[in-house]
A = this chain, B = another copy of it.
Amino acid sequence: MTYCVGILVHNGLVMIADTRTNAGIDNIATFRKLHVFEMPGERAIGLATSGNLSVSQSVLSVLEEGIANPETGQVETLYNVQNMFQAAHLVGRAIRRVFEVDGASLEQHGLRFDIKVLLGGQIGHTPMRLFHVYSEGNAIEATVDTPFLQIGEPKYGKPILDRAMSHEVDIRDALKIGLISMDSTLQSNLSVGLPVDVFVAQRDELKAAVRCRITEQDAYFRDLRERWSSALRAAHQSIPHPPYIENI
């Protein structure tokens, strides 16, 4: 399984992804799921994948090779598309190309062609955007109303986002809340695991503000987990006992 979350707030973008993959519960490995395509001052793009690892890696390879745009003939990559909408289209075309090659065989073996991509970033003077690209190659986009998108196992980490996240949240808080969301998932789902990769870009800076990997040893993340656990304990302890049971 996987958990990746992308958050687009007024002053920037946060993307966080775990690194655990499993083919059966006795075949666990660590693979990077969050990839950054950066040309400082010109573009900063994050791409996170969930689903079948072979499909994800093939899509990445196709994106690195580039795809000829059927209209212009130009070979497009994430380093030369002109805006994030084109970038989402390019990722969709890469997914469809891998489907053409592998889809039928996977199906013959009873496997689903399964990939989901979070694609966020900004290119030149065009807007910063965040997309969720589906296995079919189509995409939806985060908006002011719904500033976060999740792929993989979204449920454990969704309550904190539902309560705390909005477009007006500062990017530093967005990162913190995203890490709490990741921690909730790590706590409740063994198939999501450390280390965790992080990509943060401020709006209009056109470069990564953060590109880092958080491991088990990371002091801040350990502290965040402990503080969050004690805060939750304190929170439920501070709520009075239910009156329905006062006669006990």
A112 in the interface, Cβ–Cβ < 8 Å?
no
A248 to B202, Cβ gap below 8 A? yes
Kindly provide the distance from the CB of A218 to the nearest chain B CB, expressed in whole angstroms.
9
Which residues in B have their C-beta under 8 angstroms from that of A106? none
| Inter-subunit contact A158/B158 (CB<8 Å) | no
Contact A188 B159 (CB under 8 A): yes
- Most chain B CB within 10 A, of A159, A212, A238, is at A159
B residues within 8 A CB of A177? Answer: 236
CB 8 Å contact bits of A181-215 with B (1 = contact, 0 = none): 00010011000000000101010000001101000
Given contacts A180-B236, A239-B224, A241-B176, contact A248 B171 (CB under 8 A): yes
Instruction: Using A156-B158, A159-B184, A210-B245 as known contacts, say yes or no to A236 and B200 having CB atoms under 8 A apart.
Output: no
Cα A177 to Cα B238 with chains together (Å): 12
Asked if A242 is at the interface of the complex by the 8 Å CB criterion, the answer is yes
Q: Which residues of B contact A212 (CB under 8 A)?
A: 244
- The 7 sampled A-B contact pairs (Cβ below 8 Å) are A155-B188, A163-B187, A175-B244, A176-B239, A209-B248, A210-B242, A231-B239
- State the A residues within 8 Å of B (CB): 155-156, 158-160, 162-164, 171-173, 175-177, 179-180, 184, 187-188, 198, 200, 202, 209-210, 212, 220, 223-224, 227-229, 231-236, 238-245, 247-248
Other CB < 8 Å A-B pairs besides A227-B238, A235-B235, 11 of them?
A160-B232, A162-B187, A172-B248, A175-B241, A175-B245, A176-B242, A202-B248, A220-B242, A220-B244, A227-B239, A234-B235
The 4 A-B pairs at the shortest CB distance, nearest first, are namely A231-B235, A155-B155, A210-B244, A172-B241
